[in-house]
Amino acid sequence: MRIPTPTDPESRTPNPDMDLYAVLGLKRGVPDADIKRAFRRLARRYHPNINPGDKAAELRFRQIAQAYDILTDPARRRKYEEQGLIGEQVEVATFGFAGFDFTREPTSGSSASTFGDLFAEVFQHRRGPQPGPAPERGADLHTTVEVSFEESMRGVERSVTVLRRETCRTCRGSGARRTAETRCPRCEGSGILRSARGHMLFTKACGVCGGTGFQAQVRCDVCAGQGVEAHSETFGVEIPAGVSHGERIRVPGNGNGGWRGGPAGDLWVAVQVATDSRFRREGDDLHLLVPIAIQEAALGAKIEIRTVDGVARVRIPPGTQSGQRFRLRERGAPSSRDGRRGDLIVEVRLMLPPILDERSKDLLRQFGRINGDYARETPTT
């Protein structure tokens, strides 16, 4: 007896004289367990949803299902083995696919699809394991610190206290309370539930343990299953030299802990620098106003000024005008990014002396007679 193959012209219609054992790749007299295993193996290979659009695979599946249905029925199997015929009472249409949803999850009750239940594990295998909620990165936290101008120039360490969420120490971020692993009482540790409908055997993943075979974990009471818990924590934050007002410092990993074991966020510290009565900052340059006397401006002088690094000497050339500026290279603020120094810009302001006696007045009158109205005669720039 020849078995029609999917490519044979006669395979387009069911062959009532086909060898049912050969269809399943078995020998006569095999036990029911071997028939069921062979059917599952071949059904996974030829099922229409695994071979969409393949008419040959669809017909092959019909033959496999017909052979399985007859050989698992003791009375029909005995009649087939004695007479060698399938008989008129068996219609291939019994194993048709119309109206069945092969891809939906198994349901319970009379409305459950026979083939949907039978091949649920096949489609789960094709889709792969369905992942749980993905880990999420924790949120960033923000706080501020205040420093003086001098501290911003040399750098300082500040302590900040924040209320943050971190990975739950009880469940270690899993969200479940750690319990001793026990076998699932529903599936007895197999992870699979089996049921029979007529001559068909169905299996599906256990809904109690999720197919793991172990009893489901209990939600952590400390973090309510979130994997993180809130508490107050103090950190030491290094404020770099040269930090400017409003600049933010990132402290990696000190934000809120991640959800479901995800990475922690960052802590951002905004720095507020107090103003200084002497220095004005523009970028990394510092500006300083220095008063000078009439004789220093007229005759020239060397004056001492106080910088952020200490005392420095500035040469005032003769004839210096009020408002004139002098630049001291690399005596300004250090950059918080690369440490390079800005400049110190010194602006001089002419200060008139107090007239305390008649001699001082006479000297000023003599100076005026000698030099005339030089202030009005000298063009301004």
DSSP sequence for 193-229:
EEEEETTEEEEEE-TTTTTSSBPPPEEPTTTTTSSEE
What is the token pair recorded at 181?
Answer: 């692993």
Phi, psi dihedrals of residue 83, rounded to the nearest 5°: -100, -20
**Per-residue pLDDT for the chain (381 aa), expressed as one digit of tens each?**
344 444 443 444 445 567 888 888 888 888 888 888 888 888 888 887 777 778 888 888 888 888 888 888 888 888 888 876 555 443 433 344 433 444 444 444 433 344 444 454 444 444 444 444 677 888 999 999 999 999 999 999 999 999 988 878 777 776 776 555 667 888 887 878 887 766 566 778 887 776 767 765 677 877 777 777 888 889 899 999 999 999 999 999 999 888 777 888 999 999 999 999 999 999 999 999 999 998 899 899 999 999 998 999 999 999 999 999 999 999 999 998 888 999 999 999 998 888 878 888 888 888 878 877 666 555 554
| pLDDT (0 to 100) of residue 17 | 60
Beta-carbon neighbour count of residue 146 at 10 Å?
10
Strand partners, 189: none
Contact predicate 279/308, CB 8 Å: yes
| pLDDT (0 to 100) of residue 169 | 76
DSSP annotation of 169? T
Beta strands in 63-184 (DSSP E): 141-147, 156-167, 176-177
Query: What does each C-alpha distance from 341 to 80, 250, 280, 286, 325 come to in angstroms?
Result: 99, 22, 15, 10, 19
| pLDDT (0 to 100) of residue 267 | 94
Contacts of 195 (CB under 8 A, 6+ apart): 117, 201, 202, 203
| pLDDT (0 to 100) of residue 328 | 94
| pLDDT (0 to 100) of residue 74 | 87
Global confidence as pTM: 0.52
Domains within the chain, CATH numbers bracketed: 9-98 (1.10.287.110), 141-169+223-273 (2.60.260.20), 279-377 (2.60.260.20)
Strand partners, 195: 202
| pLDDT (0 to 100) of residue 373 | 64
